[in-house]
Amino acid sequence: MQNQSKMPLVEQLDAHAQSCPISLHVPGHKGGAISPEVWQKCLKWDVTEITGMDDLHHAEEVILEAKLLLAECYGVKKSRFLVNGTSGGSLAVIMTTLRRGEKVLIPRDAHKSILHGIELAGGEPIFLTPQLHQEIGTSNGVTPELVTEALHNHPEVKLCIFTYPSYYGTTFNLQKCIQIAHQFGVIVFVDEAHGAHFLTSSEFPKSAVDLGADIVVQSAHKTLPALTMGSYLHIVHDLPIFDKLDYYLQVFQSSSPSYLIMASLDAARKYVATYSDADIEAFWKMRAKWLKWLTKNKFELILPDDPLKIIVRKPGYTGYELQEIFEANSYFPELADEKQLLLILPLIKKGMDFTPINRIYSPERKAVATLPYEEGEPGTSKLALAYEKMHDHPTDFVLLDDAIGLISAETISLYPPGIPTIIRGERLTEKHLPELTNLQKHHYQGGEKLATNYIRVFR
Ligand SMILES: Cc1ncc(COP(=O)(O)O)c(C=O)c1O
């Protein structure tokens, strides 16, 4: 019998909160520091569909009004609140727009939720090799040339999905990619999970909404002051095929949507709608303080296109070692990788403060020579086994070393960012082995027996 008086999650959350952590990660409300007036009242707002509270799945009153305000704020035809994150929205969009056996163009570095959607719809993914960001060494969108080539080779593609911006805050020529897809008559869905704040100022990169996408999902919770799982869906072009969207939103979201999440989405919309020139000025000042402080603490910085994000490095240190140093000083980054740390600043307004406090000390080390980043051959790839054949196909566990040439029956992703290292249905090659071995040292999702060097493959 275990100790039933324990509340491990509650206790850990409480201890973390008591330690006065500095949040340089999502969610964008930064532990309630942004828009505190919303958070103080929280529990009293946790109600259900009682009189006056409307119904997310059949909105006629206050939720309808809030959705109309959201659509106007983002300049789109229709908007929806999502209470199951961008993941739930992506599942609904893909099920709405893709039929069994139809082809869909996606970047190979898509979030796993996109792959789950295509699997459920029974679509056939055509993967585009992403370009590499030369400085950061992470993937950075796709080229218009590759989109053109892929659509020439696969004219029957029904849907193009792009991820914009990347987790690390980099952008690419999305506008051109969308124009090309439209020239081929293909619907464009953009996973803008990390870009809900782009509309707040012309000093941020342009949003996919403005760059011509047909339908867009955004994790409001990642960069705006909204609760985790709170996301937005925007129908930019009201195509007849989107008529089924509300049906699928009901399928993939709870029949008891959280009023707390919905209220935070309503408040975050107001936050965006009222974001002023004075606010962006306050944001730049706050950001300048962080850049100065990081430099003073002897870190090297890379500044991607999204000013909310800062990439931190130090010669001789891996990102994981830097993460430990930051966390020991109560600064909690969004993520670490081999080379660097990713910090996410809050989208503050005038009158708010978010300043670094104590100094971080890390001894100087000699720089270690590193290999240049390896760019994948630009091109397309496919699954080795179609989704429809996977369901009843027998599987076995094999040792990683014996898995080359076999087809993976698992999707395994480093988390965060949730981009699969291997996708269910993909053939394992030499290149996957060191990547999967490396995952064992970090936090990953999928990979039932990866810790003991086994992977599930299709027989
Ligand atoms: C690019 C991308 N898309 C989608 C998602 C899923 O978003 P959510 O957590 O809102 O479901 C994430 C989450 O990290 C992401 O990075």
DSSP string, 40-78: TTGGGG---S-TTS--GGG--SHHHHHHHHHHHHHT-SE
Choose among 411, 408, 417, 384: nearest CA to 115. 411
**What is the tens place of the pLDDT at every residue in 267-312?**
999 999 999 999 999 999 999 999 999 999 999 999 999 999 999 9
From 25, 81, 87, 261, mutation site for ligand 1 pocket: most ligand atoms within 8 A of C-beta? 87
The count of C-alpha atoms lying within 13 angstroms of the C-alpha of 430, restricted to the half-sphere facing its C-beta, is 0
The residues, ordered by sequence, that sit 6+ positions from 267 with a Cβ below 8 Å of its Cβ are: 35, 38, 225, 226
Predicted local distance difference test score (pLDDT) of residue 259? 96
Q: How far is the CA of 38 from the centre of ligand 1 (A)?
A: 24
How far apart (Å, rounded) are the C-alpha atoms in residues 413 and 436?
Answer: 9
Which atom of ligand 1 is nearest to 229's Cα? 10
From 83, 106, 113, 232, mutation site for ligand 1 pocket: most ligand atoms within 8 A of C-beta? 113
- Kindly indicate the confidence band of residue 369, based on its pLDDT and cuts at 50, 70 and 90: confident
Q: How far is the CA of 87 from the centre of ligand 1 (A)?
A: 6
Choose among 194, 157, 152: nearest CA to 174. 194
Would you say the C-alpha torsion 20, 21, 23, 25 has a positive or negative sign?
Answer: negative
Apex CA 301: angle with CA 165 and CA 309, to 5°? 30
- Kindly indicate the confidence band of residue 39, based on its pLDDT and cuts at 50, 70 and 90: confident
How far apart (Å, rounded) are the C-alpha atoms in residues 258 and 270?
Answer: 19
How far apart (Å, rounded) are the C-alpha atoms in residues 101 and 106?
Answer: 15
The count of C-alpha atoms lying within 13 angstroms of the C-alpha of 166, restricted to the half-sphere facing its C-beta, is 24
Predicted local distance difference test score (pLDDT) of residue 202? 95
Q: How far is the CA of 361 from the centre of ligand 1 (A)?
A: 33
Q: How far is the CA of 4 from the centre of ligand 1 (A)?
A: 34
How far apart (Å, rounded) are the C-alpha atoms in residues 389 and 409?
Answer: 12
Residue predicted with more confidence, 106 or 369: 106
List, chain by chain if needed, residues with CB within 6 Å of any ligand 1 atom: 85-87, 111, 113, 163, 167, 191, 193, 219, 231, 416-418
Q: Is the pLDDT of residue 243 over 80?
A: yes
- Kindly indicate the confidence band of residue 102, based on its pLDDT and cuts at 50, 70 and 90: very high
- Other C-beta atoms lying within 10 Å of the C-beta of residue 359: 9
Q: How far is the CA of 298 from the centre of ligand 1 (A)?
A: 32
- Kindly indicate the confidence band of residue 38, based on its pLDDT and cuts at 50, 70 and 90: confident
pLDDT > 90: percent of the chain: 88
Q: How far is the CA of 111 from the centre of ligand 1 (A)?
A: 6
Average pLDDT, the chain: 95
Secondary structure letter of residue 443 according to DSSP:
-
Two tokens, residue 352:
């708010």
- Kindly indicate the confidence band of residue 35, based on its pLDDT and cuts at 50, 70 and 90: confident
Strands (E) located in 130-255: 159-163, 187-191, 215-218, 231-235
Choose among 270, 163, 282: nearest CA to 224. 270
How far apart (Å, rounded) are the C-alpha atoms in residues 344 and 415?
Answer: 16
Q: Which residue has the tokens 């003991």?
A: 452
pTM listed for this prediction: 0.95
Q: Is the pLDDT of residue 124 over 80?
A: yes
Predicted local distance difference test score (pLDDT) of residue 378? 84
From 106, 219, 229, mutation site for ligand 1 pocket: most ligand atoms within 8 A of C-beta? 219
Which atom of ligand 1 is nearest to 87's Cα? 11
How far apart (Å, rounded) are the C-alpha atoms in residues 384 and 387?
Answer: 10
Q: How far is the CA of 416 from the centre of ligand 1 (A)?
A: 9
Q: Which residue has the tokens 């978010």?
A: 354
